[in-house]
Amino acid sequence: MLVRMTRRDSLIAIAATLARAAQKVPANRNVKWALGASLWNSFPNTPFTDILDVMRDTGFIGIRMTHFPAILKQYDITPALLETEVSKRGLHVITISFNGAADDETKHAEILKSAQEAMDFLKRFGANHLVVFSPHRTDKPGAFETMCLFYNRLGEKASENGFKAGLHNHLGQMVQTPEEIDRCMALTNPKLFHFSPDTAHGYLGGGDTAAVLEKHKDRLMFADYKDAKQAGLEKNFLPNIFDLGDGEVDFPACHRVLKSIAYKGWLCVDLDIARQGPRVSYERCGRYVVNTLEKIYA
């Protein structure tokens, strides 16, 4: 879609470029940096254009849409208007947070339909990743195997659309521990279903994040870089999430794994909490990326 920029838009873009240069924001070369829309649920009544302005100014140039398609109604924005707004800022919609009751065979047709709708939405932005969250934890016999068999079908559907679908581990869901990640990877076809890890949830789930990345690096399609601390972990994990560099996750080790495979793709700093507000947190995360991680691999 061709977007015509007004003189005012051009001046704003130039000013933003100069501001980014002064702040030394992420380079977005091999590794491209994104953020998640879910953070702004803690800051209600924020116009979606303000979220996009934070992205433009801090160098996190991609966004993962959460609660799709409800997010469009939440912010009173159409796909066409969203396309216009991201385009004139040089930004990207890169994926959505996709989930469904994959452990329930009666829901599979509905999930595949939802996946097609999600991919049709993402195609207009040039996106080709479907980040897949597993269902809520359950003790139902055979549920894990049912989920994994379905993920092969979901992966095949994604492939037919020019997409990759990949597992996103998360606390409180069927795949939260390193052992469950390994099991899901073992029970799914590596040609059909990939890996989209979350470093914070992997760490809080008892894993060595760099070791998990190393083990499954051949299936890596996307990742969340999110920092965390273990102390005081409860069911509500939000207080355990921190800006990059403020927690205990070994991101330099993770980044060396990315360098070893010459990773070219998106990393999403999907903060669950911003103690001084989104802009301050993403400015801080951006400085950590520039000052620490880009020295290893940019």
Q: Are 212 and 178 in contact (CB under 8 A)?
A: yes
**In DSSP terms, which residues pair with 36 in a beta bridge?**
64
Domains located in the chain, CATH noted: 30-293 (3.20.20.150)
pTM above 0.75, yes or no: yes
Element containing residue 143 per DSSP (H, E)? helix 143-160
CA distances from 92 to 33, 75, 128, 209, 264 (A): 10, 17, 12, 27, 16
pLDDT digits (tens, 9 = 90+) for 128-137: 999 999 999 9
Q: Are 127 and 93 in contact (CB under 8 A)?
A: yes
Closest CA to 240 of 228, 248, 252: 228
Structure tokens at 248: 């205990």
Query: Number of H helices and number of E strands within the chain?
Result: 11, 10
DSSP assignments along 178-235, one per residue:
HHHHHHHHHHS-TTTEEE--BHHHHHHTT--HHHHHHHTGGGB--EE--EE--TT--S
Strand-pair category, 241-242 with 227-228: antiparallel
User: In the block, which residue shows the tokens 């009544």?
Assistant: 45
**In DSSP terms, which residues pair with 227 in a beta bridge?**
242
Share the mean pLDDT of the chain: 94
pLDDT digits (tens, 9 = 90+) for 50-75: 999 999 999 999 999 999 999 999 99
Assign 186 a pLDDT band (cuts: 50, 70, 90): very high
